[in-house]
Chains A and B, each alone.
Chain A
Amino acid sequence: DAGVTQSPTHLIKTRGQQVTLRCSPKSGHDTVSWYQQALGQGPQFIFQYYEEEERQRGNFPDRFSGHQFPNYSSELNVNALLLGDSALYLCASSDRPYGYTFGSGTRLTVV
């Protein structure tokens, strides 16, 4: 049984560009959350999707947007990239409002 899969694993972008990160949840999981983890910090909640709707959002600017598809997979889009957006982006899925399983993450570097 595949766990949570994320793509790509690494990418490098230039300031001002846009990026799309992808996540496929664990089989049977219908809720997807995205987190940003800066070096040396704990993950910070970006937003959560359930039934293709953004259910909750953390304290992130509108440059961060997302989408959930009917098959429960999800995308995270970040526009107008800043150097401070460099981080590990984690996707987590669950079939409950707890018990999250994390993917291996996407390491984004903005130069």
Chain B
Amino acid sequence: QKEVEQNSGPLSVPEGAIASLNCTYSDRGSQSFFWYRQYSGKSPELIMFIYSNGDKEDGRFTAQLNKASQYVSLLIRDSQPSDSATYLCAVNLYNQGGKLIFGQGTELSVKP
């Protein structure tokens, strides 16, 4: 079992719709959780991080964490074509000195 798993996609949504990206992790020692956006040929860009169970909202983005289910998600409301990118879920195992473990990423395509 991979430490961090994401559906590779591609996930295709129409412009204006809600895009839902999911991520599961295997280590219950995971402390913090990150969503990065990566455009083709570019480096990852941090969108959001979350540490506590529940929802965290930032503009059109909402991160949701459920530690009991070992599940973290990212919702993108009012999706725009400019949101088309690969979204990487990353987990920080604080007890291992803070390295990030990434999933393989989910490719999102927002169609006009």
Contact = CB atoms under 8 A, between A and B. Distances in A.
Interface residues of B, number: 25
Interface stretch (A12-20, A65-73, A77-85, A92-100): A92-100
A67 B90 CA distance: 25
A31 B98 contact: yes
Chain A to chain B: the 4 pairs with minimum beta-carbon distance, closest first: A97-B98, A42-B102, A56-B97, A102-B43
A100 to B, nearest CB: 6
Given A33-B100, A48-B97, A42 B46 contact: no
Given A56-B96, A98-B49, A98-B92, A44 B102 contact: yes
Interface of A: 31, 33, 35, 40-45, 48, 55-56, 58, 88, 90, 92, 94, 96-105
Contact of B43 (A40, A58, A97, A105): A105
Interface of B: 4, 31-32, 34, 36, 42-46, 49, 88, 90, 92, 94, 96-105
A33 to B, nearest CB: 7
17 contacts: A42-B90, A42-B103, A43-B88, A45-B99, A45-B100, A48-B97, A56-B98, A90-B44, A94-B98, A97-B94, A97-B97, A98-B94, A98-B98, A99-B46, A100-B100, A104-B42, A105-B42
